[in-house]
Amino acid sequence: MRGVRDDVGFCWNLDQMKNLIAYLETQDTLQKPIGPIVAAISPHDDYLYAGRVYESLFHRLRVKEVVIFGVTHRTVRTQIGDPQGVIIMDTFRSWTGVRGPVSISPLRDFIEQRLRTEYVLVNNRAHELEHSIEALLPFLQYYNPGIKITPIMITAMPFGRMSEISDSLAKIIADYLRIRGLELGKDFAFLVSSDANHYGVDFDNRPFGEDSAAHQKGTDFDRELAWRYLAGPSTEEAVEHFTEEMPKVVWCGRYCIPFGLLVAQKAFRSIKGGNLKGEVLVYSDTYTEAVLPLRHTGMGTTAPFSLKHWVGFLSAVFAPE
């Protein structure tokens, strides 16, 4: 079983998770009904910072299987030789969850047996070091106790390479869904793990300064990117434009967001013949949220928050148009 990487920022105790969820559900103000969730974007920051944003998504997601597209953070890249232009998969039999082991979907082997070898790297060490996928599991398994997952880390690659690999991967996943009789949005969904802008001196990213006005400008720019490219009709052109904007900010999902959305779009179009439409549920950041007023959760924070160091995050869903 793949063990826990971050035992500070995330919750691995069921009783504590129940307390966290009970509090977060009282904070949920979203009223608009959401259609079948085919794909979604979730944060992976500490629960005491981003809990409200996680809950806005996972409170509404009910499926049997998910593919989770995770980041390959810099600290991981330096330890595994910085592979590029590939997706990274694993061979663990299960992953740690809050209700017990999280089962691996048969889809993982289905992909590894069919995807061209130059597109995929199998590396358990990479998955052991990376926290972006495990961050989603406690919320995901809490609301979906029998969930099966296919974990996939995305490395740096140009848009053309993303398009090439996503063509093949989407076809393989669509074939799997047809064979298994699984319906997108009902039985199966795509999840993308990403935080938004990492702002401040620690990230060498402070174009607006480091005061409250700079924070407002930085978060406004994040919101503009999210609502312009992730809300509304989800097209390949919108995804490509999103990737072109990414050098202006420090979003850790600069590769996994476009890659995951391309796969979701293409698989959905192959099966349903239609298009997806995105909706941003919640955007916030560590400075705005501060730390949740909960005691005895067993959790802590893994980084500070201030006007000189803040991280944005969002939840978004993609449903049939």
In a domain, 119, yes or no: yes
For residue 1, tell me if it sits in a domain.
Answer: no
For residue 250, the Cα-to-chain-centroid distance in whole angstroms is: 16
d(CA 242, CA 210): 25
Query: Token pair of 274, please?
Result: 């239609």
- At residue 111, the pLDDT reads 98
Query: How far is the C-alpha of 277 from the C-alpha of 269, rounded, in Å?
Result: 12
**Domain-located, residue 5:** no
Asked if residue 8 belongs to a domain, the reply is no
Q: What is the mean pLDDT of each run of 10 residues along the chain (321 residues)?
A: 98 97 92 87 98 97 98 97 98 98 98 98 98 98 98 98 98 98 98 98 96 98 97 96 96 97 98 95 97 92 97 98 92
The CATH number of the domain where 181 resides is what? 3.40.830.10
Q: Which two tokens stand for residue 256?
A: 């996994």
- For residue 131, being part of any structural domain is answered with yes
Is residue 3 included in any domain, yes or no? no
Q: How many domains does the chain have?
A: 1
In the prediction, which pLDDT does 258 show? 98
Q: What is the pTM of this model?
A: 0.97
